[in-house]
Structure 1
Amino acid sequence: MTLSGAVPPPPSSRPPEWTPPSAGPAGTRSGGSAAPAAPGGLGVPVPAAEAQTYLTALRQWVAQRRADLSEVDSAILRLSSAEQTAITTDLTVALTFWKAINDRLTLLETTFDGGRVGAKEAERLSTLIHGRLDSNTTEHLSLPATGSLAVSLPEACRLLDSLTRTLQARASLAPGAAEATQRITVLRAGAERVRDQVPLVPAGPDRDDAAERLARLDRRVGDLVERARRGADVGGLIGPLEIDLAVLERDLIVAAAERANAAQDRADTRQQVEELDARAEAIRSLERRCIAAVTPAPHLAIPNVRALGPVPGEAAGLAGYRQRLDRVARALDLAHETYAAALAERDEIIGLAGAVGAMLEARLAAHPPDDEVQDDLEAIRSRLEAVLGRTPMPTTRARALAAAFQSYVDSVTRPPSRPGRAQQ
């Protein structure tokens, strides 16, 4: 059986309904307790009543999951060294997810503040529930095969459910025959969750592969139900099926998170292109001002951001595009610093000439110079003012004249030294 597009498989391909032969309810392990459904959606404020119900259920679920993982951790000690090595990595991942979920629960309870929820708090609750867990650098989720993973709180809870069931089965903590009813129910619920996720995969080989894997699991679940209906012992078949179903669900969640990350990367890159394009235009205006204001003016090539073309859609092309974009950003930084420095030098020279002139006026008012010194000062000042008034201003000549003006003013206005004090 194959699935194509977003159309689910026909009802006849799904496992038949099964009513357990035993009359009494079976005891359940924590693996059958699913995470509570999250209220609302991203951007939809969460009312105080719904938030209280959800936080209460989530706190109980988090505590139960921690107990489950502790039980798995204890059971690992009874396994061989090779089995311990194989299961420890997945247990570490599960504990990482539990820690991130528990940290987010703490933030939710702090924001809820015992029910004191206003409009802003309701919006924050929605963002904390349905936003990405890795928005806080302290909540960094990682899987051995894929690296960083950005998921929402409900997705992380579902993934932790799957990981916990897998770990319990691998650590030989799966319930006995008395719990077969509950475990089969959980399996069927997991298969339906996977069925809902398959149409979300973009059309292509990935969706076809996921649909084929789901079809095989459907057939195995159907066979399991038929065996249980006939009274066969299915305890040995449930564990491997739980593992395979949890792995498929995990893979689909990871793929969805990676697609969300890729979409966010493309959006961020498009935003960066817009910002760099606007900045490049501003630097071109700065370049024109600099060329008009000083000579010799620097001449640097200002890159055209749009020449890089549209933002690629595939991950490999996007990585190369972002590298080229970084080089453009560095080139713009250099051009900005160079032209700004040239204009700053012009302002510095003008400021120096003004300061020396003001100092000269103050000193001459107290000690007027003789006519010859006055003529020299006027000649240097008039030459300096003429150079400063030119457009564009020759900065090399202007700086030299300003330095000469300052030196001459210092020499003619410096108080004479006293010979007696010098001898001492």
Structure 2
Amino acid sequence: MTLTAPAAPGRMGQAVEPALLQSYLGELEAWVRGRKTELDELDTAALAANRGADVASDMALSLALWKAVSDRYQLVFATWDGGRVLQAEREKLSTLIWGRLDGASSLPGGLVVSLPEACRLSDALAGQLRTRLSLVPGADAAAARIKGLRAQCERLRDQVGLEPANGRDGAVRELAGLMSRLEAVAEKAERGADVGGLLAPLEHDATRFERDLIVGNARRRDARGQVQRARELRADLEARESALTHLAETCVRTVDPAPHYAIPDVDALGPIPNTPDTIGPYLDRLDRVGQALSLAQEKYAAALAEHAELGELLEAYVAKARALGVADRDDLRDSEHQARAVLARQPAPMAVCRQLVSTYQTWLNQLGSTARSRDTA
């Protein structure tokens, strides 16, 4: 089944309704998880076919896009805070969704896109990778592939409408050529012909054209002026600062010791200048603030991830103990209860948590070995 990014609600600066945000966050989480799994499978297939070098650039861009989307989802989820959002928080969420991703993650070639654009571009690249690696089903799926191409042409029609007037004629001609080829392939398929050899090049060309249109639109937006870029980047940093504050507070409540990284105050940068001599250095300062926010986010997220992983590791050990029939042994049961109790503390002492989970594993190895020896005897 082809994975497609969810449609983002609202628009820049709009306080989106909580119900729409909740639905979008659930769909986006599933997309992020599914796309990472898909990219891992594609990478494995490329290496198995000795074609890693052929798709290296597209794979690198796909992974960079996924990382940028994943990082931004993390900040959106932290700001969402389980649905406890008022007007101000919902406006920040809109900025995080529709703002630029260049402050959150470095993309190849200086690519500047919003979260929805990054998702659509990732969809297009994944489709291109599937086609190039011949992972798209064959003749039995021709009808489905033709249907997918028709839907892609409609997306292309919308993107062509965004092209500037002086370059739109060329895009219109290319779209017309793709649609003409598609109709010819569809007619052959209806007559029972094997169109697998025609579909793959057409899918490749359509995906390349869609990618070029998305990238071109993003680059034109970036060229509208450094002042506008500074305005958007500052709004993005302010939203990230607020979201990271939530993430840091959650981390401090959850683990001990927690990382201690200063969260830069974007307001301390002062107002955005509008002269050629001052806007460049101001953009540099914004970039440095973005790097500091990214570093702090990585450290706080890693600390929370370790706490979650210890809980999951304990659950796995308990499941193994039940399978061996030793989970109710006094020493193992007491060790489990103690580990769960300490993991549940706020904040949880991480050094003790690691030791208690390790202790449970040691008891499990000891009692499991004894149980196996008795069963063998």
Give the TM-score range, shorter chain. Answer: 0.5 to 0.7
Query: Once the 2 structures are TM-superposed, how far is the Cα of residue 167 of structure 1 from its aligned partner?
Result: 0.3
In the alignment, is residue 257 of structure 1 matched against residue 218 of structure 2?
yes
- Of 31, 34, 37, 1:67 maps to 37
**Aligned CA-pair RMSD:** 2.4
The ranges of structure 1 where at least 4 consecutive aligned residues each deviate by more than 3 angstroms after the TM superposition are 266-270
- Rounded to whole Å, the distance in 1 between the matches of 2:169 and 2:54 is 29
Report the AA paired with residue 191 of structure 1. Answer: C
AA at the equivalent of 1:178: D
The structure carrying a bigger helix percent of its residues is 2
Counterpart residue number, 1:129: 97
Match runs of 1:171-186 below 5 Å? 171-186=133-148
Unaligned runs of 5+ in 1: 1-28, 271-310, 312-320, 330-424
Match of 1:96 in 2: 64
Measured after TM superposition, the shift of residue 60 of structure 1 is: 1.1
**2:111 corresponds to 1:141:** no
Kept in 1, the 8 Å contact 2:32–2:70? The answer is yes
* 1:218 is the counterpart of 2:179: yes
Offset at residue 114 of structure 1 (A): 1.3
Report deviation, 1:252: 0.8
**1:51 equivalenced with 2:51 (yes/no):** no
Per-residue deviation, residues 258-289 of structure 1 (Å, max 9, x unmatched): 1111113264699xxxxxxxxxxxxxxxxxxx
For the pair 1:194 / 2:156, whether they are aligned, the reply is yes
2:112–2:218 Cα contact (<8 Å) kept? yes
Alignment of 1:144-293 (within 5 A): 147-204=109-166, 206-265=167-226, 267=228
Partner of 1:381: none
* 2:100 and 2:115 in contact (8 A); partners too: yes
Q: Does the 8 A contact of 2:43 with 2:52 survive in 1?
A: no
Deviation string, structure 1 residues 359-406 (Cα, Å, up to 9, x no partner): xxxxxxxxxxxxxxxxxxxxxxxxxxxxxxxxxxxxxxxxxxxxxxxx
- Kindly report which structure 2 residues correspond to 1:20-39, keeping only aligned pairs within 5 A, or say none: 29-30=1-2, 33-39=3-9
Matched, 1:105 2:73: yes
The answer to whether the aligner puts 1:42 opposite 2:12 as a matched pair is yes
Distance 2:57 2:193 in 1: 34
Once residues 191 and 36 of structure 1 are traced to their aligned partners in structure 2, the CA distance between those partners, rounded to angstroms, is: 18
User: TM-score scaled by structure 1?
Assistant: 0.53
Q: What SS is found at the alignment partner of 1:77?
A: helix
For residues 143-173 of structure 1, what are the alpha-carbon distances to aligned partners after superposition, in whole Å with 9 as ceiling and x for unaligned?
Answer: xxxx101111111111000000000111121
Q: Which has the larger radius of gyration?
A: 1
Give the secondary structure class of the aligned counterpart of 1:60. helix
User: Residue 135 of structure 1 aligns to a residue in which SS?
Assistant: coil
Matches of 2:8 and 2:170, distance apart in 1: 29
TM-score, normalising length: structure 2: 0.60
Identity of aligned residues (%): 47
**Structure 2 counterpart of 1:213, one-letter code:** E
**Cα offset for 1:79?**
2.6
How many residue pairs end up in the alignment? 239
